[in-house]
Amino acid sequence: MPKLLSEHDVADYRDRGYHFPVDALSAGEVADFRRKLEDYETASGGPIKAEMRHRSHVLFTWIDEMIRHPKILDAIEDLLGPDILCWNTSFFIKEAHDPGFVSWHQDATYWGLSSSDVATAWIAMSPANKVSGCMKFIAGTHTQQVQHEDTFDQNNLLTRGQEIAVDVDEAKAVYVELKPGQASLHHVLLFHGSEPNRSDDRRIGLAVRYIPTHLKQAVGARDWATLVRGKDSYRNFLPAHVPKRDLEPEALAFHKEVSEEQVRVLYRGTGKTAYRV
């Protein structure tokens, strides 16, 4: 029996490639997490940028707490099984009235993982709706990898500004409207994107990438992950740093090493050597 999702929910995910909403964080929890993010941004002089947006769970204790949230893990277990690694986290933040967008893409395109058996939990830390530029999905597009083209568009929030190189029927888009604290789940091959934020508030989302323990990094020389539930009998990934306090020196050194390795995988063939600002 599923832990959180119904059998119908799981079947729908298998068929459509997504499920939402999942009532994950309480109003108090999500407000506290947003405050901690914005306290960091105030102290650092501006919005979280570049490499700090990625694998942030090894830097901040409160993000490490988010990736282990029981309700999120219960939903992920219903999709991936009992042995779960958190492979990565990425912030997708659009400032109020900002032109930033996410082109239609599939997550798996440049990650280098050995299988598409990957699920993303996208956690809303502010309202995600049509006005603020919520995600949009194309149901049933998660069955095969398609070709992508790099644009490096300055307003595209993706690492390479990558976009699907085949026609996407916008009329079939499903808008993923979420309240703060809710999450959506989507398959790594699902076509998805989002439009600019036309609202007066920031649109803040944290994407958490979960994988079963049997996966491998098939392109890079090394990779890391955090065991968040069950056991890891395969040990295909090195154990990621688990922070005891925010931005501790050990975490910063580890994050630098991991980021350099991940950039080599994500930007292979482009000559780029760092995350886009």
Which tens digit of pLDDT belongs to each residue from 50-73? Answer: 899 999 999 999 999 999 999 999
The predicted model gives 189-201 an average pLDDT of: 98
CA atoms within 13 A on the CB side of 271: 1
Q: Return the pLDDT at 220.
A: 85
Q: Return the pLDDT at 268.
A: 80
Mind listing the pLDDT tens digit for each residue in 68-93?
Answer: 999 999 999 999 999 999 999 999 99
Cα 64 from Cα 47, distance rounded (Å): 20
Q: Return the pLDDT at 160.
A: 84
Cα 182 from Cα 104, distance rounded (Å): 22
Helix, strand, coil in percent for the chain, rounding step 5:
30, 25, 45
pLDDT confidence tier of residue 276, bands split at 50, 70 and 90: low
Q: Return the pLDDT at 56.
A: 98
pLDDT confidence tier of residue 272, bands split at 50, 70 and 90: confident
Average pLDDT, the chain: 95
76: amino acid identity, one letter:
I
pTM: 0.95
Q: Kindly tell me if the per-residue pLDDT of 264 is higher than 90.
A: no
46: amino acid identity, one letter:
G
Instruction: Answer yes or no: are the C-beta atoms of 158 and 91 closer than 8 Å.
Output: no
Cα 227 from Cα 65, distance rounded (Å): 13
Nearest CA-CA partner of 3 in 122, 84, 110, 91: 84
pLDDT confidence tier of residue 277, bands split at 50, 70 and 90: low
Tell me 204's DSSP state.
E
Q: Kindly tell me if the per-residue pLDDT of 195 is higher than 80.
A: yes
The predicted model gives 166-192 an average pLDDT of: 97
Q: Kindly tell me if the per-residue pLDDT of 274 is higher than 80.
A: no
